[in-house]
Every structure is written in C-alpha cells, then in structure tokens.
Amino acid sequence: MSKLSRGGFALSLAVMVGLGLVLGAEPVLAAGRGYEKSIEPNGKSCKSDNDTDCFTLGVTNTPNSVLKNKIEQAKHKKSCDGGEPKGCTNIGWMYGEGNGVKQSYETAFTYYNQACEGGENGGCNNVGTLYEYGTGVYRDKEKAIEYYEKGCDGDVLQSCLNLGSIYRTYGSVVFFFKETDPSYMKAVTYYQKACGGGEFEGCDSLGYLHLNGLGVEQDEEKAFGFYDEACKGGFDEGCLMLGMLYQEGTGVHENPKKASELYQLSCEKDIASGCSYAAEMYAHGKGVKKDKLKALEFLQKACDFGLTKYCNILKDMS
C-alpha cells in the first residue's frame, strides 16, 4: 500500500519508489470542448495574484490538458510562495516524482516541510515518510513518528496507518506479553482510527492483530469481522484472508464454497496467493467441482505473478 497522501486524504498511487506520500488535492478533471472555459476563471484570478486559484489551476491535469508540466509546476510554486500550503505539497510531489522537473528528494522534503509548517497535514505525513525511509533526508524513525502524529491528529488517515505499521514492527522485536505489549497496543489504536475513517488496510491489520492476540485479547470472530470489512471496502488482501478463515472455519462456520469464491476474487485482483489457493481448491474439489484444467489455469496465473514454486510444478507436469 502506498503511503503517498494528497492534501487531506490518501491516494493509492505507486510513486516515489514505492514510498507513499500525500498530494495537495484531487485533480480537477476536464476534457474536450469547454476545458478552456473550465479553467478560465481560475486562470484570470491567478494572474491577479489569487494564490488559492493558482493552486486550483495548477492541479488541473488530464491526458488532453493544454497545461504542460512546466506550467503546472509554475502554478504550484506561485501558489506555495503565496502562502497556499497545499501548493507546497503538490510541488513537493512533483520533485519527488520527477514530474516535469528534475527529480530531487531533498527539494521535495523542503516543500513538504514548508507545507507542514503551514498547517497542511498531508505535508506532515510526507515529511514523516521521507524520515522513515531516509529519502532526501537522514533516516530517523522518531522524527517519522513525530510527523506522522501531526498528520494523524489532523485526520490524515494514511498517517494513522503509517503509525500503526511502525508500532506493529516495534512489537514484533520487543519481548512482552503479546496482549499487553505497549507497541502492539499503540498499533491497535492507530489502526482503529484508520479503519474507522475508511482506510481499509487498517481494518485488515486489525484483523491480523485480533487473530493473533497482539495488543488485544485474541478473538477470531472479531478478526473475521475486520477482514470482512477490509474486503468489502476494497482492500483485496482482506479478501484473501477472509477466504482462508472460511476454509479453516476460523471465526466463522467452515464454508469451502465461499472460500473458493474469495480466492478467485483475490486472484482477479492480482493477489498471487489467491491464484494458488484457487488452484488448490479446483485440484481437490473443495467448494467447487474438481477440475484439472481450471486448477492448471490458476497455477499458471500464480506462476505469471512470480510464484516460482508453481512455475516449477507446471514445468514438472509438462
């Protein structure tokens, strides 16, 4: 999951070498005739030094847009220089991504920090991400936590999720009783905020913690509920885990048919393990009619996703 955030909300974008950050605002989409009219009011007021409208004009960027990356950069910079912190977040993203400018994580860090100091919590999240991974700045987990907390307190759910992941990692290397480990307990708190706000990876993580009794009392039914919420919310890894619970009868009545459906769904969503589990169900006739050809089809998909174990199985069968 990307940790890239745009403005006050998170986007799932694979950018900045797998780092996830937050950008300043959702793009204003426009296409075809009328596009010029859609940007005209903001364009005029931007020329009149209206910095908020410079920000709005700068994020207008579609495949057939007349605005080129250099113009977009100029508008964001004008917006940022004029005191609009979301513009700083967006131009920071452009430097981090190398979008229309020479890539520079150091420059990205400077703009994100400026955005954060201006009260733009997405910028705080991004500063935290760069500190966490040591990108454009020295690596410092405590600094990362500090900035993620600013983001989470400002309702940037990606920051809450990032904090949960950090404390979950801490919990796995510190020896306490699992249920009362303070790091896992903090992870639970941050994941709860993320999940409650609609960041469904947080729900998936809560499922894992409840299933294993980490930071909370072990509760398989609650774990099932969180995985179900994650899956229904569009977090595809949650569907895979839900299938496993149905297959094993963990926290729910055993239901191989439902398990098979969820494995196939997760495979369709490019979850490699879902393909391998779906193959197993067809190979042994679990929840579905036994079908060797279907099993081979899903094995091939698992192989195509890079699971070499299943490539070797297919090779041995040929």
Q: What is the pLDDT of residue 180?
A: 76
Label residue 174 by pLDDT band (50, 70, 90).
low
Residue whose structure tokens are 């055993």: 254
Cβ(20)–Cβ(13) below 8 Å:
yes
Query: How far, in Å, CA of 297 to CA of 257, rounded?
Result: 18
Cβ(16)–Cβ(1) below 8 Å:
no
Query: How far, in Å, CA of 162 to CA of 108, rounded?
Result: 19
According to DSSP, the β-strands at 9-10 and 21-23 are unpaired
Q: Which of 49-58, 123-132, 174-183, 275-284 has the lowest average pLDDT? A: 49-58
Query: Higher-confidence residue: 94 or 50?
Result: 94
Which pair of structure tokens corresponds to residue 301? 């998909």
Q: What is the pLDDT of residue 76?
A: 84
Please report, rounded to a whole number, the percentage of residues in the chain having pLDDT higher than 90.
64
pLDDT at 9 over 50: no
Give yes or no on whether 1-118 and 235-318 have one common fold.
Answer: yes
Label residue 203 by pLDDT band (50, 70, 90).
very high
What are the residues whose beta carbons fall under 8 Å from the beta carbon of 37, sequence distance 6 or more? none
Query: How far, in Å, CA of 32 to CA of 204, rounded?
Result: 40
What are the residues whose beta carbons fall under 8 Å from the beta carbon of 317, sequence distance 6 or more? 296
Q: Number of C-alpha atoms within 13 angstroms, CB side, residue 1?
A: 22
Q: What is the pLDDT of residue 190?
A: 97
pTM of the model as a whole:
0.78
Q: What is the pLDDT of residues 96-123, one digit of tens each?
A: 988 888 899 999 999 999 999 999 999 9
Question: If you classify domain 235-318 with CATH, what class do you get?
Answer: mainly alpha
Label residue 255 by pLDDT band (50, 70, 90).
very high
Counts for the chain of helices (H) and strands (E), in that order:
16, 3
Measured at the CA of 241, the angle between CA 237 and CA 247, to 5 degrees, comes to 145
Three-state secondary structure of 143-178? HHHHHHHHHHHCCCHHHHHHHHHHHHHHHHHCCCCH
DSSP, collapsed to helix, strand or coil, labels residue 298 as: helix
Chain-wide mean pLDDT for the chain?
A: 82
Q: What is the pLDDT of residue 52?
A: 55
Query: Higher-confidence residue: 162 or 181?
Result: 162
Label residue 177 by pLDDT band (50, 70, 90).
low
Cβ(304)–Cβ(289) below 8 Å:
no
Question: If you classify domain 1-118 with CATH, what class do you get?
Answer: mainly alpha
Label residue 72 by pLDDT band (50, 70, 90).
confident
How many other CB atoms are found less than 10 A from the CB of residue 304?
12
Sorted by where each begins, the domain ranges of the chain are 1-118, 235-318
pLDDT at 35 over 50: no
Label residue 173 by pLDDT band (50, 70, 90).
low
